[in-house]
Amino acid sequence: MLQLPVYLDNNSTTQCDPRVVTAMLPYFSEQYGNAASTTHPFGWIAKEAVEKAREQLARLINADITEIIFTSGATESDNLGLKGVFENYASKGNHIITVATEHKAVLDTCKHIEKLGGEITYLNIKEDGLIDVDELEKNIKRSTILISVMYGNNETGVIQSIKKISGVAKQHDVLFFCDAAQAVGKIKVDVIDDGIDILAFTAHKIYGPKGIGALYVRRKNPRVKLISQMDGGGHEKNIRSGTLNVPAIVGFGKACEICMKEMTTEANALKHLRDKLEHNLLKLEEVHINGNKEFRLPHVSNLSFKNISANSLMMQLNRKIAVSSGSACTSALPEPSYVLKAMHLPHELANASLRFGLGRFTTEEQINFAIKEISETVTKLRNENRTFNSV
């Protein structure tokens, strides 16, 4: 029997994979040592578990284990990467280039850097959600120290031209930072092949636990140096102090190991379900896909349902289908998505848009149910609106 509500909000967070939970359990009550305790077996075992996980993370993105720094999540990783570069490379310059559609963890950090005297250029995007790489290059100047562009957008799934962007950055001797929280584990992300210098990702987007993330920091060609944003015991190579969350780190490692093995098959299955969902919902009148249809993550769909309010639609669906109207960090705001507004989507369509995030545990039965319920609800709301407007 189909269990309700059907969860289609996997961009905000994912269910913890049972295999991940199983891997974590011993480190709560059996092997509960502190990884920084070097004088007894409890600490040794914990440290060994952390280093195994570090290797699992590194393997997933083709990094060296010495280049992985554990954090509390992608938000902290974004803060550490951006602020750490700004402070360390102050003698070279104070200019950072980013994009208007970045996650709030990047945008708000950039606003903080502006208050510290930094200069931020916020690039606009084209109507399909992609940036103009030529425009990016035109904005580079002598004082530019960092370019920050996310891999795949959390609202539309649009994938930027990462290799082209990194190529431009390298040509101008500028570091390239990438928030890849939505992309890592869903599609191939290779920091060497992609030319990424600093990369943020997190466990809870890939069926791992919440509260644990990582920052990749390149150690050669070029060697990137960051100023720590948290003082303490000098953990994580003096870049991020704080007692390591061993159970969560173990879970993060296991989640990456599973993604490494199953990512390609999973991506194909999710694309099939996503395309089925879209194909059937597009049969309704005035339904639009937002964002580039070719360059996007396989599990994401952002649709506008003209002539109805997204909030009204969600209220009708919320006991049956869990979806959102944008980022989980901004979904409580009454305003339309800033991402869709930046794509020049008319206010009416931006205000009528839903984000669907499919995941590992999404089934064909759930998609069939979603198609039926959404189609019926959209039709019902439109009929009600027509009746109201005719009175």
**Positions marked catalytic:** 329
| 117: alpha, beta or left? (left if phi > 0; alpha if psi -120 to 50) | left
Q: 136 with 126: CB under 8 angstroms? A: no
Spatial neighbors of 227 by CB under 8 A, at least 6 apart, are 83, 84, 87, 88
Spatial neighbors of 359 by CB under 8 A, at least 6 apart, are 7, 10, 14, 15, 207, 270, 299
**How many Å from the N-terminal Cα to the C-terminal Cα in the chain?**
42
The β-bridge partners of 176 are 147
β-strand pairing of 144-148 with 119-123: unpaired
Residue type, 40: H
Residue type, 107: L
Please, what sign has the CA dihedral across residues 218, 222, 191, 228? positive
Spatial distance between the Cα atoms of 346 and 304, rounded to a whole number of angstroms: 10
Maximal C-alpha separation, the chain: 79
